[in-house]
């Protein structure tokens, strides 16, 4: 077996010190779609062959360019003749009457090159026309290290991508409801009653692993690309996209599947929604002038949560208050008096408006105590005035 490669991370090592699992895939990219954050990567910006992960681009391009996915089309001999004899197929036959939506499922679930070529030719006239649209999509979503030459992913010069670009592509595609439905399907029956099944099951025959953590997937293999997989999983409420490229397949052991399941398990065990500030945590005390209370305490209104490793660094948690620095009886209940921003590693996690949650009443005693010297002066002046008036009357 090839030497196991240590899975590197882009998060600074002083943030946490988890012992990371070793994986066999040469390229890796893990992305938290929920928080829009890259969690880990390994050689993720290096260009490489990507095999049938190409069909992610084929499928979302078809969805975006076909007006009616329920339109029926007929599979012809000319279309099937364009399919390479070494490509994986869904099993379409000449004369099959299918919908475009059927072809989407047949492209992703069993990784059918017969389906991807059919999508391209039937919707765009030629495969080259369709590939141009795939490259237009790549440019639109800024896949700067990606270029497509075919719709299937068979090895050919100038057909390449990176793990990070594929992660960005899959995240974009999953925002489309139709694509998400197709990508997360593991068994499907086409309109011609042809049953197709996810390639995951083929690779899992020897492993016999629990595949339920993988919510959606696309696998791929070519001689130059090695074994690859793109998956969607859920780790403690967060959607996680994983791209693993160029893994070995030795003694019938699919190391791309092993890597993926290992990393999903690692994420579930070691990452969670960490409560950085609990509801009710004291933040700041503001003095209140001439009122029934001396000060007003600002507290966290709701739990402040961030998806982080379990051994995250508490020293990197911080907050900043911006607002009034003192209050008085003129401030009204439910008035916005400021805002608290919560940070982890100097990156904003959440903001809360701070509203006054008490009724501030005037305190005449406090006013009297604060301005007592003025009252004394007024009293003395009044006393002098009275005295002067009395003396004036006596001298009259």
> pLDDT of 203-251, one tens digit each?
988 889 999 999 999 999 999 999 999 999 999 899 999 999 999 887 7
Joined together, the tokens standing for residue 221 give: 């293999």
Q: Would you place residue 373 in the very low, low, confident or very high pLDDT band (cuts 50, 70, 90)? A: low
* CA distances in angstroms from 379 to 16, 272, 368, 385, listed in the order given: 68, 68, 13, 10
Q: Would you place residue 384 in the very low, low, confident or very high pLDDT band (cuts 50, 70, 90)? A: confident
With a pLDDT cut of 90, the percent of the chain lying above it is 79
Asked whether the predicted pLDDT for residue 17 surpasses 60, the reply is: no
Average of per-residue pLDDT across 276-303: 94
Which sequence spans correspond to the domains of the chain?
5-270, 278-355
Q: Same CATH topology for 5-270 and 278-355?
A: no
- Asked whether 204 and 254 are in contact (CB, 8 A), the reply is yes
CATH number given to 5-270: 3.40.710.10
Q: Would you place residue 367 in the very low, low, confident or very high pLDDT band (cuts 50, 70, 90)? A: low
Asked whether the predicted pLDDT for residue 381 surpasses 90, the reply is: no
Closest CA to 62 of 160, 129, 153: 129
pLDDT at 150: 98
Determine the Cα–Cα distance for residues 300 and 317; give it in Å rounded to an integer.
14
pLDDT at 377: 75
pLDDT at 380: 75
**Whose structure tokens read 């992703």?**
108
5-14, 256-265, 331-340: least confident range: 5-14
Residue, of 370 and 180, whose pLDDT is higher:
180
* CA distances in angstroms from 342 to 241, 276, 349, listed in the order given: 26, 9, 6
pLDDT at 376: 74
Bridge partners (DSSP) listed for residue 73 = 98
Q: Would you place residue 371 in the very low, low, confident or very high pLDDT band (cuts 50, 70, 90)? A: low
Determine the Cα–Cα distance for residues 227 and 88; give it in Å rounded to an integer.
14
pLDDT at 6: 32
Return the sign of the alpha-carbon dihedral for residues 106, 179, 260, 9.
positive
* Three-class SS of 183-206: HCCCEEECCCCCEEECHHHHHHHH
* CA distances in angstroms from 37 to 30, 33, 238, 347, listed in the order given: 9, 7, 11, 12
Average of per-residue pLDDT across 40-57: 96
Average of per-residue pLDDT across 49-78: 97
User: Which letter, b or e, does each residue of 376-386 get, where b requires 16 or more Cβ atoms within 10 Å of its Cβ?
Assistant: eeeeeeeeeee
Would you state the CATH architecture of domain 278-355?
A: Sandwich (2.60)
Q: Mean pLDDT for the chain? A: 91
Residue, of 326 and 6, whose pLDDT is higher:
326
pLDDT at 388: 76
pLDDT at 101: 98
Asked whether the predicted pLDDT for residue 193 surpasses 80, the reply is: yes
Determine the Cα–Cα distance for residues 161 and 252; give it in Å rounded to an integer.
27
- For 81-135, how does the pLDDT look when each residue is reduced to its tens digit (9 = 90+)? 999 999 999 999 999 999 999 999 999 999 999 999 999 999 999 999 999 999 9
Report the run of H or E that residue 316 belongs to, with start and end: none
Joined together, the tokens standing for residue 231 give: 């998956």
pLDDT at 11: 36
pLDDT at 249: 80
pLDDT at 396: 63
φ, ψ dihedrals at 187, nearest 5°: -140, 140
pLDDT at 83: 97
CB burial class (10 A; 0-12, 13-18, 19+) of residue 254? buried
Determine the Cα–Cα distance for residues 230 and 227; give it in Å rounded to an integer.
11
6-15, 157-166, 342-351, 357-366: least confident range: 6-15
User: Which letter, b or e, does each residue of 101-136 get, where b requires 16 or more Cβ atoms within 10 Å of its Cβ?
Assistant: bbbbbbbbbbbbbbbbbbbbbbbbeebeebbebbbe
Closest CA to 350 of 265, 260, 274, 245: 274
pLDDT at 252: 78
Closest CA to 211 of 226, 197, 193, 196: 197
56-60, 101-105, 133-137, 364-368: least confident range: 364-368
pLDDT at 242: 97
Cα radius of gyration rounded to whole Å, the chain: 33
Closest CA to 293 of 213, 339, 229, 362: 362
């Amino acid at each position: 077996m090839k030497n196991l490669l240590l899975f590197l991370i882009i998060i600074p090592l002083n943030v946490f010190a988890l012992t990371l699992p070793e994986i066999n895939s040469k390229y890796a990219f893990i992305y938290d779609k929920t928080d829009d954050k890259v969690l880990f990567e390994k050689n993720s910006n290096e260009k490489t062959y990507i095999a049938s992960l190409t069909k992610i681009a084929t499928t979302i391009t078809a969805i975006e360019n076909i007006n009616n996915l329920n339109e029926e089309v007929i599979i012809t001999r000319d279309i099937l003749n364009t399919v390479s004899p070494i490509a994986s197929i869904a099993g379409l036959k000449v004369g099959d009457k299918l919908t475009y939506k059927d072809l989407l499922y047949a492209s992703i679930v069993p990784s059918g090159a017969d389906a991807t070529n059919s999508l391209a030719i039937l919707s765009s006239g030629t495969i080259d026309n369709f590939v141009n649209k795939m490259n237009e999509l790549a440019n639109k979503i800024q896949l700067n290290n990606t270029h497509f030459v075919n719709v299937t992913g068979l090895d050919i010069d100038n057909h390449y991508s990176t793990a990070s670009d594929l992660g960005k592509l899959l995240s974009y595609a999953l925002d489309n409801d139709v694509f998400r439905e197709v990508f997360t399907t593991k068994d499907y029956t086409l309109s011609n009653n042809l049953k197709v099944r996810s390639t995951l099951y083929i690779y899992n025959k020897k492993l016999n692993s629990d595949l339920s953590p993988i919510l959606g997937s696309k696998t791929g293999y070519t001689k130059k690309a090695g074994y690859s997989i793109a998956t969607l999983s859920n780790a403690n409420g967060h959607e996680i996209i994983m791209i693993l490229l160029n893994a070995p397949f030795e003694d019938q052991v699919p190391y791309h599947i092993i890597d993926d399941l290992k990393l999903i398990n690692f994420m579930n065990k070691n990452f969670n929604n960490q409560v950085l500030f609990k509801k009710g945590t004291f933040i700041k005390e503001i003095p209140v002038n001439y009122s029934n209370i001396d000060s007003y305490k600002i507290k966290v209104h709701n739990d402040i949560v961030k998806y982080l490793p379990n051994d995250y660094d508490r020293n990197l948690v911080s907050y900043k208050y911006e607002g009034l620095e003192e209050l008085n009886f003129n401030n009204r209940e439910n008035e916005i008096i400021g805002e608290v921003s919560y940070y982890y590693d100097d990156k904003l996690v959440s903001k809360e408006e701070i509203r006054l949650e008490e009724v501030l009443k005037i305190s005449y005693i406090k006013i009297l105590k604060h301005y007592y010297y003025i009252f004394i002066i007024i009293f003395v002046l009044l006393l002098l005035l009275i005295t002067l008036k009395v003396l004036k009357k006596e001298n009259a």
